[in-house]
Structure 1
Amino acid sequence: MESTKKFEELKKLETKNNEISPEEDKKIDLMRSSLTVLQEQEDNNISVKEVGDDLMLRRFLRARDGDVEKATSMFVKYLSWRKSFVPNGSISASEVAKDLNQNKMFMQGFDKQGRPITVGLAGRHFHLKGGIEDYKRYVVYFLDKVISRMPSGQEKFVFIGDLDGWGYANIDIRACLGALTVLQDFYPERLGKLFIVNAPYIFMMVWKMITPFIDNNTKKKIIFVEKKDIKATLLEDIEENQLPDVYGGKLSLVSIQDA
């Protein structure tokens, strides 16, 4: 009975999330026209079949504040990146095994808007040999997993960045910037909200170095939560039966590879 009720609620949210304003609809048509022209140009590998649905184009449009030219340019760069970085269409677990072995990313439950809940335990992340490109592949693996779990029509996810136990050994600014690049440039408007919990004082020094690289749209979605307020704050967006048990809820965390 509870699962049926949850499904009905998610369907209502799906309808709401699918709504595109008349103004956005016109701009999306302009984007499609521009992409068709680019496809017809010589030495251009853009395929109309890869363009995706209106919701996908809308995400890029919103990421560029409704500017059709900038949104189209951003989308073209995404198509080119996807072809070269994910040539097989997806990242396999074997390609990112070292990061998966750190068991630091989890996914479980949905918030009140039907967005998948994800958790990152930063205290388990340690710099690995292999370079920043390997870590970016791990980020793509994670994001694609999350997106595959979204209800039809849902576009965003919620992330809880838990810094409990995080210290000098976990500092990896290149990884942070790499993850930001992937999220902001190639998965725009996918992040619904980011809760940062259990942040130690030392993290704020690193945060000051990272902040200039975070775009304004992303900054608006970031919330620092004091330790004493974690459960109460999360319950504003997440029902207790969907909240991870480590924050006082009723669901056990599931590692991203097992989700």
Structure 2
Amino acid sequence: IGIMPVGSAHPENEDWTCFEQSASLDIKSFFGFESTVEKIAMKQYASSIKKGKEIIEFYLNQLEEEGISHVPRWTPSLDAPSSSVTTKPVCATPKLLQLELPVTPAVSIPVSTDMENQTGTPDDKLDADYIKRYLGDLTPLQESCLIRLRQWLQESHKGKIPKDEHILRFLRARDFNMEKAREILCQSLTWRKQHQVDYLLETWTSPQVLSDYYTGGWHHHDKEGRPLYILRLGQMDTKGLVRALGEESLLRHVLSINEEGLRRCEENTKVFGRPISCWTCLVDLEGLNMRHLWRPGVKALLRIIEVVEANYPETLGRLLILRAPRVFPVLWTLVSPFIDENTRKKFLIYAGNDYQGPGGLLDYIDKEVIPDFLGGECMCEVPEGGLVPKSLYRTAEELENEDISLWTETIYQSASVFKGAPHEVVLEIIDAASVITWDFDVCKGDVVFHLYHSKRAPQPPRKDPLVGQHSSITTPGGNNVQLIDKSWTLGLDYSMVESPLTCKEGESVQGSHVTRWPGFYILQWRFHTMPGSASTNLPRVDDVLASLQVSSHKCKVMYYTEVIGSEDFRGSMTSLESSHSGFSQLSHATSNHSQSSSMISR
């Protein structure tokens, strides 16, 4: 992405200066996360605009301090304009920017800086023992900022005034810039009031599915007395939790964890006799694989990060990421732009078992409290996770009634599979060695999944003169589309490129196939019949319609499929081989271009 700031005099008023910024964005295929990448780019663009405004204000203030009230317009002409000094003041910043930058004209931005606050008054003082006991080391400027921001809240803010420790977190998050800290603090206080966050620990009851399958929990403290939170993310069934609970419940659970962390910090401050304002988080990624990059799950994660970053700044003292597999860079690429730069500096990432050596876990956590699953002797009560039972999944209607984003939003499609009437999806492949990916759930009945290749394009559903209907059958339970012509012969008109996979009701399947030839690839879900009763020939349409009358001959699948170009795949996936993710075989085949390979996990 390229950004070019340009300044010029306004054509209708020479006393105004216009500052324009333009950006161009070229997004390559990125495993279906193109919209997320676009959001990241817009976030960076907005940050650039904000930084540009700060630089402009800084130099305007410098000019005012030097007594310069007028700067003649630059011109390449030899006839320079008169340099006589006028008494007209320099334009205020909002007036300067209101025409070109996305800043509300009515907003008043103070011209003063924090430089004037370096000399505090006698009232801008706190008891030295109180600071040492509860707040930590503060410079006179920092102490003054805390006092004045607290006074401003008492005078202007309606509602509960946060404690000094809480105010101090927002000041530290903005390097003690009063205006910036006040802005984000007020937004957060409004948010807390709107969602009754102050009462979350008393009112929120964690659903049983979270207690059983959310692989996180508090575990003693680190060497500095900070509360220690352990998250076994690699063992967590993120897809199952999102589908069983929805995005809103997961967000509230994470907020309750943060509220509990604040409470534990206060308790540890009393126990250890020194200020403890943040906690340590240990994230174990053992078991992390491509399944964790399920897009609705990543979408929920990004929303959680944004909410936590905005309302709990400077609460994370250190983040220890252990046993990071090679698939981790993809997840990090997606989430890191949404994490504050100061927070990212607190991340320590260890791959494999490197955490056991010098500079590893023992530098931050006492040996006596290292969890047993990390080689320690301390029994950890954090749940081990596992797959969330499909019986706990909630329907789209139930999630919609609670105003929670649908997990199937714009991604998944539903289809019915009947006895004698498979459902088929065709994908045209132009470049050999592309990658076909799929993700489907068997919601009802048992099905057999096939992948075929044909040089001929299957014809779209057509009318059958015998029944006067299309062979594409629409039912309340979903659509059924048949594309392989009943006159086609397997092995002659089309060929099988993946071994059949029998999938039981309730199973979730993800897979990939590296294509060898261009042409048309057909994904097929067929009704599972007993061995010996299956037929490779498709039945007539009237037989299909007759079979619809038997409810036990109907299955339902929910699926998503995507094609990744060979160039994009090789450039991204070969660096993500992982013995835990099952992609090492796939990456190897992609690099060698010699044979097709597939990965199927359940």
Q: Tell me the TM-score normalized by structure 1.
A: 0.82
Q: Quick one: which amino acid aligns to residue 136 of structure 1? A: L
Structure ranking higher in helix proportion: 1
Deviation at 1:237, TM superposition (A): 1.0
Cα separation, 2, equivalents of 1:82 and 1:71? 16
**Residue 168 (1) aligns with residue 290 (2):** yes
Point out which structure has higher relative CO (alpha carbons under 8 A, 6+ apart): 1
Deviation at 1:88, TM superposition (A): 6.5
1:95-244 correspondence runs (5 A): 95-122=206-233, 123-127=235-239, 128-129=242-243, 130-150=245-265, 151-152=268-269, 153-171=275-293, 172-232=297-357, 233-244=360-371
Q: Quick one: which amino acid aligns to residue 126 of structure 1? A: T
Deviation at 1:114, TM superposition (A): 0.6
Q: Quick one: which amino acid aligns to residue 167 of structure 1? A: N
Which of 156, 179, 198 matches 1:69? 179
Q: Quick one: which amino acid aligns to residue 192 of structure 2? A: R
Identity %: 26
The question of whether the paired residues in 2 share the 8 Å contact of 1:109 and 1:251 is answered with no
The question of whether the paired residues in 2 share the 8 Å contact of 1:105 and 1:118 is answered with yes
Cα separation, 1, equivalents of 2:378 and 2:220? 7
SS at match of 2:150: helix
Deviation at 1:169, TM superposition (A): 2.6
The question of whether the paired residues in 1 share the 8 Å contact of 2:322 and 2:349 is answered with yes
Tell me the residue number matched to 2:121: none
Cα separation, 2, equivalents of 1:213 and 1:88? 25
Cα separation, 1, equivalents of 2:315 and 2:135? 12
The question of whether the paired residues in 2 share the 8 Å contact of 1:111 and 1:158 is answered with yes
Deviation at 1:247, TM superposition (A): 2.0
Cα separation, 1, equivalents of 2:197 and 2:220? 31
Are the structure 2 counterparts of residues 137 and 38 from structure 1 closer, same or farther at C-alpha, using a change threshold of 3 Å?
same
Deviations 1:43-86 (A, max 9, x none): xxx32xx2222221110001111111111111111111112223
Which has the larger Rg? 2
The question of whether the paired residues in 2 share the 8 Å contact of 1:139 and 1:182 is answered with no
Cα separation, 2, equivalents of 1:99 and 1:174? 19
SS at match of 2:348: strand
Cα separation, 1, equivalents of 2:199 and 2:135? 26
SS at match of 1:94: coil
Tell me the residue number matched to 1:35: 153
Deviations 1:184-213 (A, max 9, x none): 111111101111112222221121111111
- Unaligned 5+ segments in structure 1 are 1-13, 40-45
Are the structure 2 counterparts of residues 125 and 142 from structure 1 closer, same or farther at C-alpha, using a change threshold of 3 Å?
farther
Cα separation, 2, equivalents of 1:90 and 1:21? 34
Cα separation, 1, equivalents of 2:208 and 2:188? 25
Cα separation, 1, equivalents of 2:353 and 2:197? 45
Deviation at 1:157, TM superposition (A): 0.8
The question of whether the paired residues in 2 share the 8 Å contact of 1:34 and 1:72 is answered with no
1:4-15 correspondence runs (5 A): 15=133
Cα separation, 2, equivalents of 1:57 and 1:176? 26
The question of whether the paired residues in 2 share the 8 Å contact of 1:107 and 1:253 is answered with no
Tell me the residue number matched to 1:42: none
Cα separation, 1, equivalents of 2:189 and 2:340? 21
Cα separation, 2, equivalents of 1:96 and 1:181? 23
The question of whether the paired residues in 2 share the 8 Å contact of 1:245 and 1:252 is answered with yes
Cα separation, 1, equivalents of 2:259 and 2:205? 15
Cα separation, 2, equivalents of 1:103 and 1:26? 43
**Residue 26 (1) aligns with residue 144 (2):** yes
SS at match of 2:200: coil
Tell me the residue number matched to 1:78: 188
Cα separation, 1, equivalents of 2:350 and 2:215? 20
Deviation at 1:87, TM superposition (A): 5.3
Please identify, of 129-138 and 107-116, the stretch whose mean Cα deviation from structure 2 is larger.
129-138
> Structure 1: which 4+ aligned runs deviate by more than 4 Å?
none
Q: Quick one: which amino acid aligns to residue 142 of structure 1? A: I
Tell me the residue number matched to 2:68: none
Cα separation, 2, equivalents of 1:55 and 1:87? 17
Q: Quick one: which amino acid aligns to residue 125 of structure 1? A: D
SS at match of 2:219: strand
Tell me the residue number matched to 2:436: none
Cα separation, 2, equivalents of 1:16 and 1:249? 33
Q: Tell me the TM-score normalized by structure 2.
A: 0.37
The question of whether the paired residues in 2 share the 8 Å contact of 1:119 and 1:160 is answered with yes
The question of whether the paired residues in 2 share the 8 Å contact of 1:96 and 1:137 is answered with no
